[in-house]
Amino acid sequence: PTKHVFVRMPSGTIEFLRMEKHETPEHVLQKLAERDGVAMSLASHRLVHNDCDLEHHVTLDEHGVPHLATLTLERPMSRVFVK
């Protein structure tokens, strides 16, 4: 079974992807990379759904991501330490 998801990119644009429910956030990044020609990984980005980070080894279905959900692709914030 296929589910459609929208991905809000860091630039603010929204991408549409056709995903299988057994696919993981890693697959989402692979499909975005294939489309945009820019390598992405969960080491340099994170996918968020309903304010929760999606774990890379857990499927979209196991995360409870519904058909037509919007995921947010974020770059992890740099940590700033103040003395």
pLDDT reported for residue 58 = 95
Position 78 scores a pLDDT of: 46
Q: What is the pLDDT of residue 77?
A: 61
Q: Determine contact, residues 67/4, Cβ cutoff 8 Å.
A: yes
3-class SS at 1?
coil
DSSP string, 9-69: -TTS-EEEEEEETT--HHHHHHHHHHHHS----TTT-EEEETTEEPPTTS-TTTTT--TTE
Per-residue pLDDT of the chain (83 residues; tens, 9 = 90+): 799 999 999 889 999 999 998 999 999 999 998 987 777 777 788 899 999 999 988 999 999 999 999 999 998 664 445 66
Q: What is the Cα 82 distance to its own chain's centre?
A: 31
Residues 14, 72: Cα–Cα separation, whole Å: 9
